[in-house]
Structure 1
Amino acid sequence: MSQLEPSNVLIVDDLPENLQALDALIRDDQRVIYRAQSGEEALALLLDHEFALAILDVQMPGMDGFELAELMRGTERTRDIPIVFVSAAGKELNYAFKGYESGAVDFLHKPLDPDAVRGKVKVFVTLDRQRREARRHIEELERSRREQEALLCQLNATQEELQRSLNMRDEFMSLVAHELRTPLNTLFLESQMRSLQIKRGNLAAFAPDKLDAMVRRDERQIKAMIRLIDDMLDVSRIRSGKLSIRPAQVELMALLDRVVSDLSVHASAAGGSIALRPHEDVGGCWDEFRIEQVIVNLLTNALRYGGGKPVEVSVNADSDQVRIEVRDQGRGIAPEDMLRIFEPFERVARNGEPKGLGLGLYISRQLAQSHGGELSVVSTPGEGSVFTLTLPRCESSGAAPEQPAAETTDHHP
């Protein structure tokens, strides 16, 4: 427990010798004595300090003790300070009655009885210390209550976050099982059909043209599972700080042309199309594999939610940076979903729309930021969305150093 500060006692008398005598009488280690020779001086001190007791001389020129007491009782800051009046006037003037009427706790006649004065001052100083001690305890209790409330709020938030994590884990496991089951079921049914054809001796089912179609179907299902596993591994690397970037000189338009060409077949099969607007060659120092990963994610997302309408890819570049825009004409993104879509495992698919793990945009933004760039979106519900990948055009000599091989051997195929 911290030591309490000494109590303040105010003595007011127009005669310096009276002040000095009273000061000497009541001074103590637990008290600080303030002197005032007029009501005006006393009021100034009362505004600056808290007092355990005020001892006022009644008969003073100008503002007398009664007038000072009246002012003290009329002010919030000073109205509860105990007042003891001191007077040399005879008892026949009935000053004591007037003093008690003005709110005094006692009235002393001069010459003062030293023991009585010391005893009264001790009582009020003790009461003041008890009051301040009680106030300090109340403040400590209030502080403790606020700390407990803050701790409780923090605990509740932690519990909610834990429950959210548990729910996310359960949902994630369910989603992974569902996403893996689809290609595995397809592969299983294909193998069953082939076994049946072999048992029946129907070798015509394995003619070169049909066998080639079988292989392509198998590859699609296997690639779907590989993409799913790669996404989960990337999330783990991002959260552990082990996602590496290996920058090198990249010709962007050639990369985009290759990706658009590869995905156009998939887009046509889904009744859509992808167009790359012409642009002069754009060079930069990036991790080509990771940038391709982002573009594939953006285009796949645009095809998935674009409602079968055309998707356009365009490039804008200056000396400092390059901006790649992927524009679709789908239903757009609601304002409340604009930030959420970049969080892991968040999906905004509606009924009838394809679902996924909700990792693509999260991984893509992390990859953009790891290049010193940004991935943003502008969308108007009913009018489609524009995702913009912004990358700095750094030189290879200023690129970030490659991570140790132990952390990168499984990052790139």
Structure 2
Amino acid sequence: MNIAASHHHTTRPLRAQRLFAMREAVLTDWEHRVRASVQGADQLLTPILINTLPAFYDNLAEALTPGHPRQDATSNTNVPAVHGNERARMTSYGPEQVIQEYQIFRDCFADAAREAGIALRRNDWRIINASIDMGIRESIREFTAMHEGFQRRIAAGLSHDMRNPLSVMTTAAQLLQRYPERVNIGELAQKILDHGHRLDTMIVELLDSLSYQQGPCLPLALSQFDIVPLVQAVCAQINGLVTLPQGARCKVSGLSVTGWWCENSLRRALENLLNNAVKYGDGDPITVHVEATHERMIISVHNTGSPIAPDQTARIFEYLRREHHGATPGWGIGLPYVQNVAESHGGSVAVVSAP
């Protein structure tokens, strides 16, 4: 959806009227050519593909109208930057595809003007080329900034979540060292191996994320499985931590729900939720409930303790928002990752907090 403020002129010069009358022909031709030649464009819905192009076209038509104060299609507007932002967030494009779209637009505009009998003079081409060149620069600048932000967030999130398997491995090693005659050596060794493999997988994900060319949605490896055993496994992992307060054990309730999900990302999201519940709880048990309703799976994590202030509830999923109150300040990464996992699966995340 594009929201823009504009002034509708009931009387335009004849040349301007003819330019504006070309818009549908240019947009239709542009969509056809882009879907045929730009990698990844054929998978996009029309509203996403068209994006801010109508506004860019109108700006260009104004700039080509004699006496109009607009210098080119990019002056006094952020339309190209918004185009780059949306291409980063909503497509699998790389910079080359963004540039190609602008080049195709120039060809479509020239062909439509020729068919409409509108002569494009030297000054017209100066405005057109300046608009295309500046549009490319501003779009790519925003596109690149968005992708760099995505990569930093994913890399920071993975680095943050690596603490969970490291904690399990450290706990197991400490038990082996302190009580070698009283522990099940085989079981603890298996825990160390399993979480070592998880760390290896996270490192691969981290490396992949640094070159990942998509928006904020996570790359998901979907498989069909029952969510309850995964929830039970994460709860058992939390319960095995040496640092867990006495009495703050995790309990699972609910029924089996089978669906198509990404196991690794859901595991990490659950770990973040439960670690958060332990960190900000009051030491009483934490409950995790699983249910299904209207073809949606719902996981609820509940802890007791001081409620979140109403003015804070809308902000706890903000990236790098650290909670400094108390003895255990957060990194501001775990809960935004939970939100990203939920939304990448087509779901959502919400908070309910009251005495």
TM-score normalized by the length of structure 1 = 0.38
Whichever of the two has the greater Rg, that structure is: 1
TM-score normalized by the length of structure 2 = 0.43
Q: Which has the higher contact order (CA 8 A, sep 6+)?
A: 2
Give the structure with the larger strand fraction.
1
